[in-house]
Each structure stands twice: as C-alpha cells, then as structure tokens.
Chain A
Amino acid sequence: MDGVMVFKRWTLDGGLDLDGHKDLSRQRSIISATIPDELVYPLVFRSGEVARALVKTGDRVLKGQVIAESQGAQGTLLHAASSGYIQENELRTIAHPSGLKSLCLIIATDGLDEACSVAEPVHYSQLLPVEIRAKIHQSGIVGLGGAGFPTAVKLKPESSCEVDTLVINGAECEPYITCDDRLMQQYPEQILLGIQVLLRALTIKKCVIGIEEDMPEAIDSMQKEIDRQGIDYIQVNVVPALYPAGGERQLIFLLTGRETPSNGFPVDVGVICQNIGTVMAVYQSIFQGQALTERVVTLTGLGLKTPQNMWVRIGTPIKDLVRQCGGYNGSIERLIMGGLMMGFVLPDDSVGITKATNCILVATPREVAKTRDMEVLPCIRCGECATVCPVNLLPQQLYWYSQGGDHDKSQSFGLFDCIECGCCDVVCPSHIPLVQYFRASKSKAVLKRRDDETAGLAKQRFENQQLRKAQEKMEREQRIRLKKLALVKLKKESAGSAPNAADKS
C-alpha cells in the first residue's frame, strides 16, 4: 500500500522466549458472562486511592449509574454494572497483592439489568478534544492493561515534549492471556474507530499498533480492516514474541526506537500508549454512550474445565465465572489474577473482577512454581539475570544490596528502573526470589524517603520555631528597651519641664 509509514525494527535487550499457553483460550470467541447475584466493588480504586460511595444502603441503582468516585486530579468514577439494590458496605477480600480485606460496596442484583437512559451519541468528529476527554472521564475509563491509570488524564499530556505518536499496545506478552487477541480478532472495526477518537483527542495523526508475531489472526484481522478502510495513518507493526515486549516502555522502544527516560513518562518522548481493551472501552463510550461496566477477561489455566474469554461485568466474583467455565479441574495450586509473570495470588475466589483484571489463571501444580523458597542456594554470579533483564540492570548486584539493606546503593544500581517483569527470577539457577527482594527493597526505600522527609519537615519546623522565639524575644527586649528609654526620657522631661508644666496647668 502506498503511503505506509515505514518503521525501523528495534530490538529489546534481554527478555525471555516463554511458552505462551495461549492455545487454551485463543480460539474461543468471547462469550458474555451471566449477571451474578452480587457485584462487589472495593472502595479503593488504585493503590491507596480511596473512593467515596455516592449511594446509600437500600438505594436501587441502574446499570451505568455512577455509584462511587475518587477525588483529585486523577480521580475516576465507578458505575454499577447491573441494576439492583445497594447492600450494607462490608469488609471483603479485594484484588490486591496483599490479600487484605477492605471496605466494599455491594450490589444485590435484581436480574432485570435495567440501564440508565443514554443520550443520543454525537459523532466524534463533532466533539472537541476537551469534550472527548470529558466523556471518557464520565464513562469511568481507566487503562485496562493492568495499571488502571485514568485514560482522560493520560490524554491530556503535560510535558515539554510535543506528542506525535499514539502507540496501541496489542502485544499480549504475558503467557496465557488472550483477551486483547480476541478483541482484535472480533472487533477490528470498533478498535479502529476507538483509535480515531483517541487521535482526535490528542489532535495528532499517527498511530502504531504493536502486536506480537505469535498472534497471526489478530495481525491479519487488524491489517485487513485498515486496508479495507484505506487508512494510512494507522499502522500495524509486528514485534517479536519475546516477554516483556508488551511492557509500555519496552513496546514504545520496539516500535519507535525512543527510550522513555528513567525518571519520566512516555509523553516525554512524544508518545501516548493505550491498551487494546482501553480503546474498545473508548469506542463503547463515544459511539454507544456506555460507561465502563464490562470488560473482556481471559479465564484460563489447566485448572479450569473450559478456559475461555468472557465479557464480564466489573465487580463479578471470580467464583461465578469459574462456574461458567465448567468449574475447577483437578488439584489447584494457585489462583492468580493477572499473568503468570506479573500477576498476584488471590487468597480465595470471592474476589470481584476489577477494571484492571485482564486474566484469571487457575493454575495446577504442573504450571506454577511450588513452595520454591525451600531450595534457595547462594548466588553463583552466573549473570543470567543480567542477560535477560529488559532494562539492563544487574539484578545480582541489586540483590546483594537489597539483602544488605543498603537502599541508597541499590537505588544507584537502578532499583526503581526495575519493572518487576520476573525474567531474572525465572532464569536464576539458585532459585532466588529476586523480584520479591526488589519489591521489598522498593517499599523500604520509599518508607525511608518518607521518614527522611518527615524528619526534615520536623527539623525545619523546629528551626523555624527557634527562630521565631528568638525573634520574639528580641522584639520583646527591643520593646522593653524602648519603653525604658521612653520612660527615662519622660522622667527627664518631667524633671526638667516640671515648672513649665506647672505653669501651664
């Protein structure tokens, strides 16, 4: 095709060629999950972001109605995924690596699935960028790739660098996950429309869709649709099937050769990156007026009778979905939310699907590491970890300093550049849980920084107080001195001029 932008192909340092296990679910069309009896929404949206409920116990809510919001510049909205009645808030296990319980908003569904009235959608070409962002915000759209960052905020870049490229992340590099693959296979037209909306919101005309080479159906589907519509400013670019090619910074580098600065964001190199699922949500918001109440989730693993991809209402407890996949199959080692490499273990299956949940992996002992901390040997400095690190860190050095608690040193070795992809962990012959050490080290470094800041503030306050006290003392002394002087003067005057005064009187 003429006018196609030609991209140089960049390669990633490190990375792993992992067994994808994608065939468990790749060929299965997305089916709709049924309405669960109960929808569960944690009142903590992203880590540490507390949300406020906008409904009371006993209220009837409709599908698409806003039920909670978080405050601040990065605040988002949460919508009910089906109609029903608000129950008493309860402490429930939430989708968080800590496995802790937190206050949750609960809807007892009534099965009617009655929706809010939707205003007639305006064609996106009639909308200003600011109006598109507002609609995206009102639809409660966040990044569906896992990070859950508010999309509207991401579309209003604040950087000295001018954004010129929209990167769409269709590289599902984590093993097992196929939800974006299926979306691209089944909804290419909608995805292209979603991309056009995003391009309009960013007022740019250049988009690259990055898809891994082991997803031929998705590549084919997107390319065919682009060719059919004759769009020349959206390009499908195939990236190597190498984990973690789908990491935001890694993908941007593979597609554009631009290195997102360590202490910055993709906008700093003129790129905005959105995930396929997010693009689909944008399409649904702008063209159908739908809020984000549903997403595609891959339910997979040998521990499920029939793995598949499903349109799932946000808030649906995992156990309802497992039932619809034919139930558990044999002995289950772990229930993982997210991927095999970067997901987290859930303590039980009552946890609700969140906006950021792309996969539920029901893993058998065959598929996951068992009690791996049993056989840890000392590091033999083989350096495999450094070879596979996609950000060129020296994990063994980091491990050395993390273990010794030397957080300053580990930061100088790039602790905060670690993307926790887990490659080093998997290749370590000594079976050292490296990423676990790095996570702990990061938390400790953050805590220490906070402590230092608090201590600094306290010191500042104390010094200010001392200064103020000194100044007050000085002023007081000054006042007393002046008063004394005035008194002396007065006495002198009164002594000297007493006769006059007497005269006057």
Chain B
Amino acid sequence: MKSLWVTSPYLPPQNSVSKIMFKVLVALLPGIFLLALFFGWGVFVNILLAVLTALITEAIVLKLRQRPVLKSLKDLSAPLTAVLLGIAIPTVAPWWLIVLGTGFAIVIVKQLYGGLGSNLFNPAMAGYAFLLISFPQEMTAWAVPGSLNAWQFSDIIRLLFLEQLPEAITVDGITMATPLDAVKTQLAMNQESAVAVPATVERLFTQGWGWLSLGYFVGGLWLVQQRVVAWQIPLGILCALALISTGFYFYDDQSYSTPAFHLLAGATMVGAFFIATDPVTAATSPKGRFIFGFMIGALTYLIRVWGGYPDAMAFAVLLMNIAVPVIDYYTQPKVFGVRR
C-alpha cells in the first residue's frame, strides 16, 4: 500500500489543459473547412507552417528557459495559437508572413512573458496585429472567393513559397477587398448609396464570409455546450455589437451598416468564440467576463466605424487584455456568508 503524502480530495482530476485545447481545435474544423472551400487550399499550408513554427520556436525557448520541453508542447496551447493565426491571415499570403507572425506570437508574446498562463496578451491576436501593422498590403490581400478553386495544388504552393502566379493571372485579378473593407472605402469616398444595406449582407453570403461566420458560430456553440469557453464572453461581444449597431442603424441607415452585417462580417464570430475566450488573457469572474466581452464588442464597433482599420477584433481584444486586472478586481463575487 502506497502512502504518498497528499491531502484530499483523492478523486482524480476530471479535465486537462490538452483536452480543452484539443476541443477548441476540433470546434474550429467547420470554419477551416469553409475557409478552404471559399478561399482555397492555402489555409492548410498556412496552418501547417504555423503549427511547425509554433512547435519549433516554443521548444527552442523552453530549452533556453530550462523548462521541460515535452510536457509543455503536449498541452497543445502552442498549436492552438498557431491555428488561430493560420486562419486569420489571407490564404494567398507568402509563407514568411505566417512564420514571422507565429514566431512573434510564441516567442515574444507568450514565452518571454513566462509561457502558458503568464502572458498578458492574446498571442494569436498580438501576432496578427504585429503583421497587420508591419505588412498591411499582404495582410489585406484576401482572395476572390472561389477564384482559386480551379487551381492546381502546385500553383498554390508556387504562389505561397515563390510568390509566382500562373500565367495570365495578376494579383489584382485574384484578390479583392473584404466586405468590411469595401464598406469602409465606399463610406470614405462618400458614396453613401453604395451602402445599400441588404446588398452588403447578401454579399457576405455570396462571398463566403457569412457562411464562414456561421461555421465558427456552430463550433463556438459546441464549445459553450462543452463548457470549454465561458459563455459570458461571446454573449457580451455579440450583445454589444448588436445593440450598438442597431442604435446607429436606426439613427441613419445610409451611413451605418445593419446589425446582421456587423455580426456576420469579418472576425466577429471567430473573435467572440475563439479569440476573446482565451482564458489566460480574459477576465475571470462571471460578471467580469460579460463586461470584458461587451467592451470588446463596443471597441470593435468603434474602430470599425470610426477607426483607421476595416476590422478591429484583434485591437479590441488586445486593448481589453490590458483592462483585465481592473475588471477582475472590481467584479469579485460575494463570498458565501459575507455581508456586503
């Protein structure tokens, strides 16, 4: 009989970090599938490059920090960061973009802050923001939906690694502005009639973005049902976006897009369910989580409409990451038996 000195409880733990990360990865599958369907095989190349970069850079830093390498790689948190970044960048982006972004996310944002659990900022989003600011052109070059379907896999490889296009095809021919980008540009050029609102929502679906959002939404709901992510965060984000956009839409439907557009465009769904819910960098109390989510939604709207970028999920999440300690401090739940 062993009597190793541990105290109760003796019930084995019911969950594990790798299980949580694995479930998040599984929940991303519908979205990844739709991404490949509309924007080409490049997404798989991006994800593969990202995961390899993440594992290698994390292993090197862990070794340098004299931490157990295998134990940390097994928790699957680095591959998850990699996949999130891999689906966030354009499928026709050159190979070094994802490698640079993932390396930055893992080495600078995650490991230099102390590794899993110690980072202040969401690694995937910090990596994304880093790339967006440094390489705006590459980061906004999204393929025309369906345009790459006829391509050979080798053509895609050549494009990603050698930046060579097949004959008679130009970059402008295969890329186009995202719906959010288009709205922003048109509004900036004062073509108010171009925001014929039903058309933009329709366009979301004809261009695949709407379906992509629904794919992430379905995966996200499963995560909520599995209690892998805290429901208060996506609820807060979606509530804020819906409420604020409804208000402005009714105020002036020529200059402001519909709530449906804001909920289904860009990174709303993937951000609400997969990015902002990263527990390490989110608020922890139930009330705090809702506030955290709501503020991300509000900031996203603010930057989308009045800021310099068409989409804003990454910036909103990073800004709210900074506010987490304050939110946590002021939203401590009432302890049983303690009078307030």
Contacts and interface: CB of A to CB of B under 8 A. Distances in A.
B12 A380 contact: no
A381 B282 contact: yes
B332 interface: yes
A393 B335 contact: yes
A382 B228 CA distance: 9
B339 A261 contact: yes
Contacts of A426: 9, 11-14
A264 B333 CA distance: 20
A332 B333 contact: no
B10 interface: yes
B6 A373 contact: yes
A340 B10 contact: yes
Interface string A313-348: 000000000000000000011111011111111111
Given A262-B337, A380-B117, A429 B9 contact: no
A18 interface: yes
A422 B12 contact: no
Contacts of A335: 1, 3
Given A381-B279, A426-B13, A414 B338 contact: yes
Given A369-B13, A430-B17, A381 B280 contact: yes
A420 B9 CA distance: 9
B6 A436 contact: yes
Interface string B10-36: 111111110110000000000000000
Contact of A334 (B2, B17, B71, B337): B2
Contacts of B286: 386-387
A436 B4 CA distance: 14
B8 A341 contact: yes
A422 B20 contact: no
Given A260-B337, A377-B116, A392-B334, A425 B9 contact: yes
Interface string A28-43: 0000000000000000
B66 interface: no
B333 A378 contact: no
Contacts of B227: 384
A394 B332 contact: yes
Interface string B311-340: 000000000000000001000111111110
Contacts of B336: 13, 249, 253, 259, 262, 390-392, 417
Q: Which of B8, B15, B335 has the most CB of A within 10 A?
A: B8
A343 B117 contact: no
Contacts of A390: 336
B335 A427 contact: no
A349 B336 CA distance: 38
Nearest to A328: B1
Contacts of A435: 7-9
Number of chain A interface residues as a range = 35 or more
A58 interface: no
Contacts of B10: 334, 336, 340-341, 343, 345, 363, 368-369
Contacts of B7: 97, 344-345, 433, 435-436, 439
B190 interface: no
Given A370-B12, A372-B13, A375-B71, A386 B333 contact: yes
A428 interface: yes
Interface in A234-275: 249, 253, 259-262, 264
B81 interface: no
A259 B337 CA distance: 5
A13 B12 CA distance: 22
B1 A431 contact: no
A433 B282 CA distance: 23
A175 B10 CA distance: 11
A393 B332 CA distance: 8
Contacts of B251: none
Interface string A409-424: 0000110010011100
B117 A378 contact: yes
B23 to A, nearest CB: 11
Contact of B15 (A383, A384, A386): A384
A431 B13 contact: yes
A290 interface: no
Given A334-B3, A347-B3, A429-B19, A383 B8 contact: no
Given A262-B338, A391-B337, A428 B13 contact: yes
Contact of B11 (A253, A341, A379, A391): A341
A340 B335 contact: no
Nearest to A361: B10
Contacts of B75: 377
Contact of A18 (B11, B117, B284): B11
B115 interface: yes
B225 interface: no
Interface string A429-464: 111010110010000000000000000000000000
A175 B335 contact: no
Contacts of B334: 392
B1 A332 contact: yes
A117 interface: no
Contacts of A384: 15, 227
B234 to A, nearest CB: 15
A333 to B, nearest CB: 6
A370 B12 CA distance: 7
Interface string A344-367: 111111000000000000010000
Contacts of B2: 333-334
Contact of B335 (A370, A378, A392): A392
B118 interface: yes
B14 A261 contact: no
B335 A425 contact: no
A340 B280 contact: no
A371 interface: yes
A436 B280 CA distance: 23
B5 interface: yes
A392 B328 CA distance: 14
A417 B284 CA distance: 20
Q: Which of A18, A336, A382, A427 has the most CB of B within 10 A?
A: A382
B230 interface: yes
Q: Which of B4, B282, B332, B337 has the most CB of A within 10 A?
A: B337
Contacts of B13: 369, 372, 425-429, 431
A401 to B, nearest CB: 13
A500 B85 CA distance: 119
B284 A394 contact: yes
A363 B6 CA distance: 14
A392 B3 contact: no
- Kindly list the 4 A-B residue pairs having the minimum CB-CB distance in the complex, ordered from nearest: A422-B9, A378-B117, A262-B337, A391-B336
Interface of A: 13, 18, 97, 99, 175, 249, 253, 259-262, 264, 332-336, 338-349, 363, 368-373, 375, 377-384, 386-387, 390-394, 396-397, 413-414, 417, 420-422, 425-431, 433, 435-436, 439
Given A261-B337, A392-B335, A428-B15, 16 more contacts: A333-B1, A334-B10, A336-B8, A339-B8, A341-B8, A344-B7, A345-B6, A347-B3, A369-B12, A377-B71, A387-B286, A391-B336, A391-B337, A392-B334, A426-B9, A429-B20
14 contacts: A99-B3, A249-B336, A260-B337, A262-B335, A334-B3, A340-B8, A368-B12, A370-B12, A372-B12, A380-B116, A381-B279, A383-B285, A426-B12, A439-B7
